[in-house]
Amino acid sequence: MPEVILENISKSYQDGKVKAVKNVSFSVEKGELFGLIGPDGAGKTSLFRVLTTLLTPDSGIATVFGCDVVKDYKSIRQHVGYMPGKFSLYQDLTVEENLNFFATVFGTTIQENYDLIKDIYVQLEPFKNRRAGKLSGGMKQKLALCCALIHRPKILFLDEPTTGVDTVSRKEFWEMLQRLKKQEITILVSTPYMDEATLCERIALIQEGEIMSINTPQGIIEEYPKKLFSIKSSNMIQLLDDLRKYDSIDSCNAFGEYHHISFKSENTELAKSELTTYLKRDRDYKDLVINDINPTIEDCFINLMN
């Protein structure tokens, strides 16, 4: 039986005016690292709050390790770790006091579960007498993770843990999650960063309260229906404009250094050479580079959005 099950969960705010979550169903297996990927306002936090029993859904059933989130909220609270998107530990208590406090409210001690947080806590140890509010962003995240783990939860809910954290700390954070996975803790993580999606075992792409696709990152990429090309020239802004006006282009999106394009026709090789000729001859692009590429999660997301 899956560890987390959601069936047709809906939640709206302001008396139904704002529909945050619409008929969402998915499940997460035990020991899985599951990612909820979507932009701000997609409904990720609402879903997390439903699963952590902080929010009662308007309709639908959700269970966490077999317990209903509405009826058995008490037993769920014993065994889940939740790390909200906003740093929400006591800023006026020290690192150690915060950890101690959360250990005791769960009826345990730091020593008892030290092995679980050891890897993370050693980095915090030099600052253990510092007030939590005075820590750097990356350190705050580590402390929050420690506090969410201190009672050895069965499931860890991490709501945008890497938002506002620098690249190095983000990488470190994901490495920590991979290690935790080995401890057989089910992890649900949400993120607006598409590049982090590939670090999850399975992901759900969510947009405006609806799940667009659920699969492994590889599966989602394979589901991408078209062949994708990247294109680059010295005048990228003009190029984007020209590409969008060009008839046989199906989609064209700016991706940093390159634009990603796909064609309407099945015969992509022909379409590609036609486009190259058109751009070089008629539009006078000299330093044009076109490559075949594999789609990224972001390409898939944009494709699904349309």
* Contact footprint for other proteins (CB under 8 A): 52-56, 73-74, 77-78, 80, 82, 84, 86-93, 97, 101-102, 104-107, 147
Residue whose CB is less far from other proteins, 129 or 218? 129
Amino acid at 51: L
Residue whose CB is less far from other proteins, 133 or 219? 133
Rounded to an integer, what distance in angstroms lies between the CA atom of residue 256 and that of residue 261?
13
Amino acid at 302: I
- The least CB distance from residue 56 to other proteins, in Å, is 5
DSSP one-letter string for 75-113:
HHHHHEEEE-SS--S-TTSBHHHHHHHHHHHTT--TTTT
At 165, list the tokens. 């954290």
Residue whose CB is less far from other proteins, 110 or 236? 110
Rounded to an integer, what distance in angstroms lies between the CA atom of residue 145 and that of residue 164?
15
- What is the Rg, in whole angstroms, of the alpha carbon atoms belonging to the chain? 23
Rounded to an integer, what distance in angstroms lies between the CA atom of residue 298 and that of residue 306?
12
Residue whose CB is less far from other proteins, 96 or 242? 96
Residue whose CB is less far from other proteins, 58 or 210? 58
Residue whose CB is less far from other proteins, 107 or 225? 107
Residue whose CB is less far from other proteins, 128 or 283? 128
65-83 as b/e: b if 16+ CB within 10 A: bebebeeeeeebeeebbbb
Identify whether the C-beta of residue 267 lies closer than 8 Å to the C-beta of residue 206.
Answer: no
The residue count of the chain comes to 306
Q: Phi/psi at 221 (nearest 5 deg)?
A: -65, -40
Task: From residue 47, give the alpha-carbon distance in Å to each of 17, 109, 150, 193, 212.
Answer: 18, 30, 23, 18, 15
Residue whose CB is less far from other proteins, 11 or 259? 11
Identify whether the C-beta of residue 24 lies closer than 8 Å to the C-beta of residue 47.
Answer: yes
- The least CB distance from residue 52 to other proteins, in Å, is 5
- The least CB distance from residue 50 to other proteins, in Å, is 10
